[in-house]
């Protein structure tokens, strides 16, 4: 996609479906949202994932 006034190109991703395919056990490191983070709606969800691995069975 070209944007007037911007010298570099941009890509746009349109996600139409969410597939939970993260292999948490195989990832290098994963951080989950905790109650003390002050985001109760996110507790237990991934906050950051490093070295993500995909579980092809999912």
Q: Where are the domains of the chain?
A: 1-58
Separation in Å, CA 14 to CA 11, 29, 54: 10, 27, 20
How would you classify residue 35: left for phi > 0, otherwise alpha for psi between -120 and 50, otherwise beta?
alpha
Residue 32, both tokens: 């989950």
Nearest one of 13, 16, 20 to 52, comparing CA atoms:
20
Strand 29-32 to strand 46-50: parallel, antiparallel, or no bridges (unpaired)?
Answer: antiparallel
Kindly report, residue by residue over 3-58, the tens digit of the pLDDT.
788 888 888 889 899 888 888 888 888 899 999 999 999 999 989 999 988 888 88
Residue 1: per-residue pLDDT: 64
- What is the pLDDT, as a whole number, of residue 21? 87
């Amino acid at each position: 996609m070209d944007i007037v006034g911007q010298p570099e190109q941009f890509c746009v991703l349109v996600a139409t479906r969410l597939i939970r395919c993260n292999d948490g056990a195989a990832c290098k490191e994963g951080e989950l949202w905790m109650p003390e983070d002050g985001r109760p709606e996110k507790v237990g969800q991934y906050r950051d994932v490093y070295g993500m691995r995909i579980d092809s069975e999912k």
